[in-house]
Amino acid sequence: MKTTLSGPDGIRLILDPSSGFQLHNFNLYRRNETMTKLAPCPVTIFEGGGVNLDAEDADDLLAFWVWVARDPRALPEAARAIFPDRQPGYVRATSDLLAYAANKATAMTCRSRGDMDAAGAYEAICDRIYDSLPTWATW
């Protein structure tokens, strides 16, 4: 079952357990657009780096995903904010955390509307993502 989450500025995230997520109403790369400074992270970053996405609500998880999804060129800067020690693979780990956040928010939304099968499918995606994270990126 597909689930649609709407974020700020008309950004829509459509999630389908069989195919992952898709962005709609999204224009990322305009030729002459300069990248603006990344806004503060919408979820709590631990002192020394890292996040606990299971401690966040669905709105904050979606805001975390949108934080970088608006401009994927911001991923390295976001990764440095979350993992200031820059362990090997920290950018990939950040990308995986963003995918985890989108899927976790969808699972929470599905569960709140009573769709337990879809929630379980998205939670299984979260489990696979979490299991693939380096230990320094887990909570």
- Per-position DSSP letters for 84-108, written without gaps between them: TT--TTHHHHHHHHHHHHHHHHHHH
pLDDT given at position 34 = 43
Neighbour tally for 48: CB within 10 Å: 8
Percent of the chain with pLDDT over 90: 50
Query: Does the pLDDT value for residue 12 go beyond 70?
Result: no
Asked if 6 and 12 count as a contact pair (C-beta separation under 8 A), the reply is yes
Q: Per-residue pLDDT tens for 34-72?
A: 444 667 777 878 887 888 999 999 999 998 888 888 777
d(C-alpha 112, C-alpha 130), whole Å: 22
Average model confidence (pLDDT) for the chain?
Answer: 79
State the Cα–Cα distance between residues 97 and 84, nearest whole angstrom. Answer: 15
| H or E element in which residue 116 lies | helix 116-132
pLDDT value of position 7: 54
Answer yes or no: are the C-beta atoms of 122 and 21 closer than 8 Å.
no
CA distance 80 to 49: 9
Which of the listed ranges 12-16, 42-46, 73-77, 100-104 does the model predict with the highest average pLDDT? 100-104
CA distance 129 to 18: 15
Quick one: pLDDT at residue 15?
Answer: 58
Contact assessment for residue 52 and residue 31, using Cβ atoms and an 8 Å cutoff: no
Q: State residue 14's pLDDT score.
A: 58
What residue type is 89 in one-letter code?
G
